Amino acid sequence: MILPGKAPAERVPVIFDFSALMDTDIETLSVLMVSCQAKYGADANAGALLDGNAAIDGPRVIQWVKGGAAGVYYRLECRVKISDGRELSLAALLPVVEC
């Protein structure tokens, strides 16, 4: 998914919604990892975009992000483990834009 752009000074949540991939009545998930890399543009410290640990909210994972270099598109990937043993991932593309 492509997310709306954010400014370098903003702190915003990125929400990964796994509800369409699991039975939310009986299954739960745990976060294996959220990773970040510069997809378009250059940022040698792309991992610094992640602000703290991801949080689970039912079938959703919420990862706060901050900073980033203007003009860079970041690829965030969230990997989770479902209670039935499956491992799933969702990715998002986040552009950082100067206002």
Mean pLDDT of the chain: 96
5 domain-assigned: no
43 domain-assigned: yes
- What total of structural domains would you count in the chain? 1
Please check the confidence at residue 93 and state whether its pLDDT lies above 90: yes
What are the tens digits of pLDDT across the range 5-32?
999 999 999 999 999 999 999 999 998 9
**CATH number of the domain where residue 66 is located:** 2.60.40
Between the CA of residue 20 and those of 26, 53, 59, 88, what are the distances in Å? 13, 23, 9, 12
40 domain-assigned: yes
The percentage of the chain sitting over the pLDDT mark of 90, rounded to a whole number, equals: 96
26 domain-assigned: yes
74 domain-assigned: yes
CB-based contact 75:39 (threshold 8 Å): yes
**Which residue range is the domain that position 41 belongs to?**
11-95
